[in-house]
Amino acid sequence: MKINISRQHIYLLSILTFFLIFVLLFSFALLIPKGKEYRENRIEFKKEAKELRKYQNFHNEVEEKLKKLQGENRRVMTAFDATFDPYRFQKQHRNYFSTLTISELSEVSDDDEFIAYEVNTTSEISSPKSFYEFLDAVNKSDWIISVEFPINFKREGEMIKSSFTMKVFYADNDSNRTKPSVNEVAE
Amino acid sequence: MKYSYITPRPKSAFTAEIQLLVTFFSITLGMLFITYFFLLFKDYTFLSDMDELAVVQSELSVNIKEMKEQITFIEKENLLAQKVYTQNTVLKDSIANLFDLVPQRITLSEAKLLENGLVLYGVTPNKDIYNFMLQAPLRSIFHRTYSSFYPAQNGWLRFVSTNYIDEEINLSQEIESEN
């Protein structure tokens, strides 16, 4: 039996076969692996985006907590950052004393976070009540000040002469913060 | 010499079948290429988006670290401030208690409040009043109490009362109370 295929058909068949092979090769060699990679990348991206959303939420929570803390402790934070001004201290507290003298400020301790300065104070009060009121006022002052031992009370006529040490605390959170110098302190 | 009366048709390799085949495969290949370039583009955008996410995440991480440090620091500030305020209040109460402790008949001329002790100078009409009305309460507060007397010009007695709290005992009491 003789198969009679024309030259035209042979061309047609050849081109068809070539195209088919090209399409199959292109699909299996490039398109399908790329598609798989795309799918993997999309899943990975969604996972990362989800993680980021969680992280963003956590970030917002921490930020909210920080703002709340800053709001609640505004006075304390300002007090820790405030530079001790002996003139202002005297002005604010002279009502409790007949006389109030503040000595030079000297650094007593410096850990990584807080610096403590000591200042010696001599004063005259008319009654111990003034001293109690002064201690109450110190807690409401613009600085973080603790009144330290030793505290001396000595009767001098109608007045009581008192001498004590105060410790002023500063936050060392900012290295650029201006630290009080001796020149700033009242004699 | 002519063998045919019809004019010969011009013959082309691009017959109707081949044209149909080429059109079909052109469309198919076009779609395949478009899909491939779409995937390439999406892969590129995914990768650049992932890089962006990583940058944002690292910025958030740094921010969170800084904020946590700030929170810790504010808490420490607050703790120290409360400690200082409490210390001042306790000091005020201690001084008030000390002055309340001194009876009307005894006059203090000087008081020295030390970290672990108290030194009182004053005048008393006699030793008994001092012993019963001042020394007894002082003894209940301090671990060691020493008194010395000197005669005053008006017949009264000047006294110096030195009182100490032993730190070792203090510490052990604190440890016991903590336990």
**CA-wise closest residue to B46 among A4, A3, A38, A47:** A38
Domain boundaries along the sequence of chain B: 18-101, 105-178
Confidence at residue B169, expressed as pLDDT on a 0 to 100 scale: 57
Identify the segments of chain A with pLDDT beneath 50. Answer: 175-187
Write down the ipTM of this complex. Answer: 0.78
What sign does the dihedral A141-A143-A148-A153 (CA atoms) show?
negative
Would an 8 Å CB–CB cutoff place B61 in contact with chain A? yes
CA distance B91 to A135: 8
Confidence at residue B166, expressed as pLDDT on a 0 to 100 scale: 83
Confidence at residue A1, expressed as pLDDT on a 0 to 100 scale: 63
Read off the tokens for B176.
């016991």
Q: What is the chain B residue with the closest CA to A13?
A: B18
Confidence at residue A51, expressed as pLDDT on a 0 to 100 scale: 92
Range with the lowest mean pLDDT among A63-72, A101-110, B25-34, B160-169? A101-110
Other beta carbons within 10 Å of B74: 21
Length of chain A: 187
State the count of interchain CB pairs (< 8 A) between A and B: 162
Residues A116, A166 contacting (CB under 8 angstroms): no
Helix segments in chain B, DSSP class H? 16-101, 127-130, 136-141, 167-178
Residues A76, A140 contacting (CB under 8 angstroms): no
Residues A153, A160 contacting (CB under 8 angstroms): yes
CATH 3.40.190 fits B105-178, yes or no: no
Model confidence at B69, in pLDDT bands (50, 70, 90)? very high
A52-67: pLDDT as tens digits: 999 999 999 999 999 9
Confidence at residue B31, expressed as pLDDT on a 0 to 100 scale: 94
CA distance B103 to B129: 9
pLDDT of B11 above 80 = no
Task: Give A34's contacts in chain B (Cβ within 8 Å).
Answer: 36, 39-40, 43
State whether B85 and A139 contact (CB < 8 Å).
Answer: yes
CA distance B124 to B134: 10
N-term to C-term CA, chain B: 133
Q: What is the chain B residue with the closest CA to A74?
A: B74
User: Hey, of B9, B64, B74, B101, which one would you mutate to test binding to chain A, going by the most A CBs within 10 A of its CB?
Assistant: B74
B99-155: pLDDT as tens digits: 888 888 888 899 999 888 899 999 998 888 888 888 888 888 889 999 999 888 888
Answer whether 0.80 is exceeded by the pTM: no
State whether A149 and B49 contact (CB < 8 Å).
Answer: no
CA distance B112 to A155: 12
A159 sits in which H/E element: strand A159-171
